[in-house]
Chain A
Amino acid sequence: MMRKTFAAALGAVSLASMASAADLGAVDQPIKLAVNEWTGQHVTTHIAGEMLKAAGYEVEFVAAGMMNQFQAIADGDIHATLEIWSSNVSDEYAKKVEEGTVVELGDLKLNAKEGIAYPAHVAELCPGLPAWEALKACAPLFATAETLPAGRLVDYPADWGTPGADRMTGLELPFKAVPAGSEAALIVELKASAERKTPLLVTFWQPHWAMSAYDVQFVDLPAGEDACFTDPAWGPNPNAVNDCDFAASRIFKAGWSGLAETWPAAAEILTNYTLAVEDQQPMMGAVDVDGGKVEEVVAAWMADNEAKWRPVVDAATK
């Protein structure tokens, strides 16, 4: 509770401008990092935690819901969360940033991709894939009782928005989008489809362990340029916007406003920390598919890839 008193004064500190060696700050107080619900985030967070430990900090990992964590970060009960998807961030985040109690800590530079996807075996059922035009003729194949006569697209859960439905309307594809309700429901749909070799079209994203586990492929759509979302004339359908692929989503980090004051070097490390899909996705597979422990998988990666993270730690502490 004491920490909050000086937290308010710090909202405006610009973290990105700090590049030189900084003070370690309160090394006797543990830095608490949020651990959300998905494995990729666990990998991201544990690597960051190990980097902070290498710099001489104490780190605690706290289980927290993605959507609910921002109140805790604003209160200084959690100090940073390291994998926020711009496509799936609660309104509360914007509120807290405006309040000045939560500050952004820059891009994670994880090269994410969202799109309309299908498990590889579906290409055998609908041979024109991955070209999106093939879906026009194949639609009846994907039809179910709820969507007849249109095909069924399993879209994101309702609270993540309806990007899949927007694509279907934009491209005039005869598909009805059904919101999934939860990520778990999406995964179970993929699993059932892969096991039973049934047709399935989903809105999905990478990095995600299921991409490799169920051999998920993206449908080729016209590139998602800015004009596509504002100018109906752009793209294959002259009468509608959204007739193209998804806009690139940004993945970034955020922390408690008192972070830079309490642990200046840690704030610098977390701000400069980045992670590539090529590094994260194999680790997710090692955990979710091969059943490894996050701590061990991350430790092995850190030992093999010191060149990728050590310079960030050194820049902040030496």
Chain B
Amino acid sequence: MTGALTTGTKAAALAVIVGALCLLFEGLMPWIISFPAAWTLPLTNWVGTGAGEALALIKPTARGFSDLMSYPMDWAKLGLNAAPWPLILGVVLALGWRTGGVPMLVLAAVGMAFVLASGYWEQGMNTLALVAVSVPLALIMGAGIGILANEVPRVREPVQVVLDVMQTVPTFAYLTPLLVLFGFGPVVGLVASAIYAAPPMARNVLLGLQRIEPEIKEAAIMAGGTRRQQLFQIELPAAMTQIMVGVNQSLMAALSMVIIAAVIGGFNDIGWEVLLTMRKGWFGQSLMAGMVIVVFAILIDRMSGTLAQERKPQFDSRIGWGLVALGAIVAVVTYGQLGETSDYAMLGPVTKQVDAGLTAFTTANADWLNALKNNALFYVLLPIRIGLDQAVLPFTWGFMWTSQMSLWLFAGAGVVSAGLIVSGRVMGGLIVLIIAGILETGVSQLPWPFALVAAGGLAWSAGGRKLALLIVALLASILLAGLWERALLSFYLSGVSVFACAVIGGGIGLISAVSPMTWKVVRPVCDMLQTIPLFVFLIPILMVFQIGEFSAFLAIIAYAIVPMIRYTRQGLVETPEEMIEGAIASGATKWQMLFHVRAPYAAPTILLGLNQTILYAFAMLVIAALIGTTGLGQSIYLALNKADVGLGLSAGAAMAILAFGADRIVQGFAEDRRKALGL
């Protein structure tokens, strides 16, 4: 690292200089810290007006589509609700048998029995009706986009950007315009979940088509079919396994979005039920409703997951039909005697016990939990947010922060940094200086010139000049739109959460990789955290930690930690055999192997996990607004409630910009790492 300066060091040096200048002149020029309102452009209003006009233009078409879609919706809802439950049970069991034999049959039986016993059968069927219509829509949309990107290489790059936008702009941000377009009712939820569920399908279709062996393509060309014949008769079937992965991912995405869309109401589905019970603060009941979604998600995931396997297991179709027939017979015999499905609810006592348990737990452990929260806030979260100069107060740290202390801090950092630079670690020295500066100032009060330069520099070293320019331009648009302070708050909250996820999740992933027993326990917990409606977590967290930032921090971690755990384990476990054998031959211990062989090899996979964690954390920010956070999430939620299209879209775009920037920078570093490993 000595001698020649890399792009990274140059960028870091520039950031240090700009940061130091900002600190020096912040007293003289307050506009360095808070971007003057007079310099902002009424971008939000322009977006509102522009979107309003565009919406008015396509509204008639959209309303037509809405009317059209309401037929299959009503049919699905009516069909699933009118069918007696023994018949539906028979069909689900048959599907379970056909896709996975006896184990899947048992899983399906237990799952559906739980749905019936929870008392939410009707709401569950309505949710399934929504998924049943939105998923085909998402699949058609996704497949169309994927095939288009495959056939016309020129559009591939813009298509990737569109897919990113579809996945990163929070759904809450575009619910209002969708409501104006499609009118009130479940069709809005349908469209929202289709928008969110289409990208995984599109990506997998494209990936599948690109991965087809050249020999197969050549054979298709030799056979002399038209392009369309080649595509539909040879290439798509050859890519079917990969496409099925897309179908599976689409299903899961649609299921998770159905809940969010319930905020609008109009369908009496599980999401609505979760919202109602949560409003009353009934944890047990909302957990029960949430678990119905988890059951559906697990069944759909496992059943559709077998579709993606290369060699599908074969199970006797006669038994499947037998199960359907049995269900039908039971339904006919018991016709008129089954009563309401809600009569089968028998888990009421369980929900009461869950509530009582939560109360007992919070009462018994209030003291240390409170101490945990106070310590985390005083010594970690507040200093990072508003800086040591404001967070250190007599009643938090026991003394008052003075400007001398700031000087001492900078002097100390300067000494450490000089030592590092002299010993050749220039980059390390510069980073120490940057961290000291950020700690003193606080993330939410970072001077904007410094933030732009630092982000640009980071992007430059991760992905080159083009990425740096793009990211600086996008961030500048947030600045001009007057959303900067809120964006910094969101960045701070998701940043600390992602950091905590990386440390804790990485640790859990590591342990899971070493000990298969731990993974057996961790895996179902991960499944549940990912599929249960996010709202459900908020109640117990609030019960213990009250409204505010710390609760939001925990809620984000609960959701965003999952990919970190999964990918860390995945990366560490799948190190190629020959590398391990080589290490064993050279006498490496278990831990040496982990840190020197497995960890470097797993780095790209772990970085991908980090990337997913970042996206998840941003997705959860909007939900966290429900427990009183500030920042972009709150703006989006506010805009939804006030039906303010301009603010909703702008704040959503700002959120997407932050997520997009973080994503591209991490991916850039992962790419370098992969190249270094020769992958």
Listed from nearest, the 8 A-B pairs whose CB atoms lie closest are: A72-B184, A181-B628, A187-B281, A92-B643, A188-B542, A182-B626, A67-B641, A63-B265
> When the two chains form their complex, are residues A90 and B183 in contact, meaning their CB atoms are under 8 A apart?
no
Given known contacts A71-B184, A146-B549, A195-B362, A181 and B625 CB-to-CB distance under 8 angstroms: yes
Classify the interface of chain A: helix, strand, loop or mixed: mixed
A272 CA to B267 CA, complexed, in Å: 30
Classify the interface of chain B: helix, strand, loop or mixed: helix
Interface size on B, residues (CB 8 A): 54
A62 CA to B184 CA, complexed, in Å: 11
| A149: chain B residues within 8 A (beta carbon) | 395
In the complex, residue of chain B having the shortest beta-carbon distance to the beta carbon of A293: B342
Q: Is A227 an interface residue (CB 8 A)?
A: no
Q: Is B185 an interface residue (CB 8 A)?
A: yes
Given known contacts A71-B183, A90-B642, A145-B373, A65 and B264 CB-to-CB distance under 8 angstroms: yes
> When the two chains form their complex, are residues B275 and A37 in contact, meaning their CB atoms are under 8 A apart?
yes
A192 CA to B366 CA, complexed, in Å: 10
Q: Is A69 an interface residue (CB 8 A)?
A: yes
Query: How close is A241's CB to chain B, nearest CB, in angstroms?
Result: 25
1/0 contact trace for A137-172 toward B, CB 8 Å? Answer: 000000011101100001001110000000000000
**Chain A, range 74-91, C-beta contacts under 8 Å to B:** 75, 77-78, 90-91
| A146: chain B residues within 8 A (beta carbon) | 377, 548-549
Q: Is A59 an interface residue (CB 8 A)?
A: no
Show 18 A/B contacts (Cβ-Cβ < 8 Å), sorted by A: A63-B267, A64-B264, A65-B263, A65-B265, A68-B179, A68-B265, A77-B185, A90-B642, A92-B643, A144-B546, A158-B638, A181-B626, A181-B628, A182-B627, A184-B539, A185-B538, A185-B542, A195-B362
**Chain A, range 175-209, C-beta contacts under 8 Å to B:** 178-185, 187-192, 195-196, 198, 209
Q: Is B675 an interface residue (CB 8 A)?
A: no
In the complex, residue of chain A having the shortest beta-carbon distance to the beta carbon of B269: A63
> When the two chains form their complex, are residues B542 and A192 in contact, meaning their CB atoms are under 8 A apart?
yes
In the complex, residue of chain B having the shortest beta-carbon distance to the beta carbon of A38: B279
| B643: chain A residues within 8 A (beta carbon) | 67-68, 70-71, 90-92
Q: Is B530 an interface residue (CB 8 A)?
A: no
| A209: chain B residues within 8 A (beta carbon) | 280
In the complex, residue of chain B having the shortest beta-carbon distance to the beta carbon of A140: B395
In the complex, besides A145-B373, A181-B629, A195-B362, 14 extra interface pairs with C-beta distance below 8 angstroms are: A37-B276, A37-B279, A65-B263, A92-B642, A148-B395, A159-B637, A184-B538, A185-B542, A185-B547, A187-B279, A188-B543, A189-B546, A192-B543, A192-B546
| A187: chain B residues within 8 A (beta carbon) | 279-281
> When the two chains form their complex, are residues B628 and A179 in contact, meaning their CB atoms are under 8 A apart?
yes
> When the two chains form their complex, are residues A184 and B185 in contact, meaning their CB atoms are under 8 A apart?
no
Q: Is A261 an interface residue (CB 8 A)?
A: no
**Chain B, range 235-278, C-beta contacts under 8 Å to A:** 263-268, 272, 275-276, 278
Q: Is B40 an interface residue (CB 8 A)?
A: no
> When the two chains form their complex, are residues B179 and A180 in contact, meaning their CB atoms are under 8 A apart?
no
A204 CA to B644 CA, complexed, in Å: 26
A234 CA to B256 CA, complexed, in Å: 53
> When the two chains form their complex, are residues A62 and B279 in contact, meaning their CB atoms are under 8 A apart?
no
Q: Is B634 an interface residue (CB 8 A)?
A: yes
In the complex, residue of chain B having the shortest beta-carbon distance to the beta carbon of A183: B279
A180 CA to B630 CA, complexed, in Å: 11
1/0 contact trace for B341-364 toward A, CB 8 Å? Answer: 000000000000000000100110
A interface, how many residues as a size bin? 35 or more
A190 CA to B280 CA, complexed, in Å: 11
Q: Which of A38, A68, A71 counts the most B-chain CB atoms under 10 A from its CB?
A: A68
Among B184, B363, B641, the residue within 8 A (CB) of A196 is B363
A184 CA to B286 CA, complexed, in Å: 12
> Which positions in A face B, CB cutoff 8 Å?
1, 36-39, 62-65, 67-72, 75, 77-78, 90-92, 144-146, 148-149, 154, 157-159, 178-185, 187-192, 195-196, 198, 209, 288
Q: Is B231 an interface residue (CB 8 A)?
A: no
| B637: chain A residues within 8 A (beta carbon) | 159
Given known contacts A188-B542, A288-B280, A69 and B184 CB-to-CB distance under 8 angstroms: yes
Q: Is B640 an interface residue (CB 8 A)?
A: yes
A1 CA to B628 CA, complexed, in Å: 40
| A64: chain B residues within 8 A (beta carbon) | 184, 264-266
> When the two chains form their complex, are residues A189 and B265 in contact, meaning their CB atoms are under 8 A apart?
no
Among A1, A39, A63, A159, the residue within 8 A (CB) of B638 is A159
| B264: chain A residues within 8 A (beta carbon) | 64-65, 68
Among A36, A68, A91, A178, the residue within 8 A (CB) of B184 is A68
> When the two chains form their complex, are residues B265 and A184 in contact, meaning their CB atoms are under 8 A apart?
no
A198 CA to B276 CA, complexed, in Å: 26
Q: Is B180 an interface residue (CB 8 A)?
A: yes
| B518: chain A residues within 8 A (beta carbon) | none
Q: Is B396 an interface residue (CB 8 A)?
A: yes
| B279: chain A residues within 8 A (beta carbon) | 37-38, 182-184, 187
1/0 contact trace for B615-641 toward A, CB 8 Å? Answer: 000000000011111000010011011
1/0 contact trace for B270-312 toward A, CB 8 Å? Answer: 0010011011110000000000000000000000000000000
